[in-house]
């Protein structure tokens, strides 16, 4: 029997493992491609989240102005309601006075 040298063993292992190594490299390339695509999607999601954050910040900044205007509107409505109640009471008093004056004549 012939003796195997280190070089012979190395060549046998290289020859036997080469197809496996190539298959693993192809799998890694496919996985790398998929991860690149996912990375692109995450970048788009990041951009969208930044836009949402900016919109929320704008809404927070402007909501106080909106609530201030709403409070003013409500106070004007309440003031008008009170004025109408007072005018109604005045009108009733005037009608009572006119009725008294008409009955006195």
Name the token pair of 44. 């788009």
**pTM over 0.75, yes/no:** no
Burial 86-96 (b: 16+ CB within 10 A, else e): eeeeeeeeeee
25-38 residue pLDDT tens:
999 999 999 999 99
Q: How many other CB atoms sit within 10 Å of the CB of residue 26?
A: 10
68-81 residue pLDDT tens:
999 999 999 999 99
1-49 residue pLDDT tens:
578 788 888 888 888 889 899 999 999 999 999 999 999 999 999 999 9
């Amino acid at each position: 029997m012939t003796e195997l040298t280190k070089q012979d063993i190395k060549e046998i292992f290289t020859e036997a493992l080469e197809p496996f190594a190539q298959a693993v490299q192809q799998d890694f390339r496919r996985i790398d491609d998929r991860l690149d695509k996912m990375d692109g999607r995450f970048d788009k999601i990041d951009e969208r989240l930044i836009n949402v954050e900016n919109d929320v910040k704008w809404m927070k900044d402007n909501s106080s102005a909106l609530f201030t205007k709403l409070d003013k509107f409500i106070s004007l409505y309440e003031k008008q309601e009170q004025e109408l109640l007072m005018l109604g009471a005045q009108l009733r008093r005037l009608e009572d006075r006119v009725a008294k004056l008409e009955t006195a004549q």
